[in-house]
Structure 1
Amino acid sequence: SDDGGETWSKMTSLGVRGPEAPSTLRRIPSTGDLLLIWNNCFVEGADHGGKRTPLTAAISRDEGQSWKVVGNLETNPAKTFSYTSLTFSGDRAVMSYWESGPAAGQLSCRLRSLPVSWFYQVRD
């Protein structure tokens, strides 16, 4: 929407797949860029489309037209990470998400705080 939600353009894909859990999308207050947190895993033919790992971050500097993966927040293949929330406090991104596995009943809520600059660092 270009008019505060009065009207909407046609829906289009972001070009990323989050097959197993909801993604989180927020605007970074200090830069205006979009920050996407999602499970960057899609396995064709897999039950439900894949696992809930890794938990990945991407930035869009062009209103969601393109995305640059900036890094993985969690990568343990024996665990799952899902149902993220994200807010900003000063120069920090504050996230919460569920972590589970590998055994049944192993479930915890994780809280993570990273400087916004982490999402702009060059990584290998």
Structure 2
Amino acid sequence: MADINGNWLGTYWQDEMPSLFEATFVQSGNVFNGSILDDNYLGEATVSGEIIGRNISFTKLYLITSPSPVTYTGTVSEDEDYMQGKWSIGSRYSGLWEARRHGENLIVDLQTRLEMQTLLTTSKNP
């Protein structure tokens, strides 16, 4: 069984548009809970899920912005520092996601990635 305790920084794609997120997971046996903070208007969400071997599945519920649960499924790498898979909201919306384990500087990492994303967007649209 994979160990996902700790902080993660990831990306999910909807209609080919990336959104960054910061996640913290607390695992006990095969189950885990945690929180996710998206870098877009959707904001903070709670998560609860399960790990069987290297397979991960969880449900994300936004605290304020959206009542629709988001289902995530995927796999955790053998070194337990990377996970990836698919997300869906019912049968209407779906996409890919990935996350990498990070240390204590998640906010700095997230700000750096957001600044780079802004620079790339600005350079494409002068």
* TM-score using structure 1 length: 0.35
> Higher RCO, 1 or 2 (CA under 8 Å, sep at least 6)?
2
- Greater share of strand: 2
- Greater share of helix: 2
User: Quick check: which has more Rg, 1 or 2?
Assistant: 1
